[in-house]
Amino acid sequence: MPNPKHRHSKSRRDKRRTHWKAEVPTIATDPTTGQPHLFHRAHWHDGKLYYKGKVVMEKKMRNH
């Protein structure tokens, strides 16, 4: 298994890690409800699941 012969400096290690950044997720607005949501994700609004402005599923109401 390969191992480094000499120790790498902190600056050299940090240069390698500069490309790993947290990105801000892109937020879209639903055309039907006007609610903000993540791109390519379904979202709930008033008991209905919306995807691309269309109702995909409705929440079942239980009677207790």
The share of the chain scoring above pLDDT 90, in percent, equals 45
- The pLDDT, as a whole number, for residue 1 is 78
Which pLDDT does position 19 carry in this prediction? 81
Q: What is the distance of C-alpha 58 from the center of its chain?
A: 23
> pLDDT at residue 45 above 80?
yes
- Please state the pTM of the whole predicted model: 0.57
- In this predicted structure, the answer to whether residue 20 has a pLDDT above a threshold of 70 is yes
Instruction: At 14, list the tokens.
Output: 């940090």
The pLDDT value recorded for residue 64 is: 63
Q: Is 33 within 8 Å of 26 (Cβ atoms)?
A: no
Q: What is the pLDDT of residue 51?
A: 92
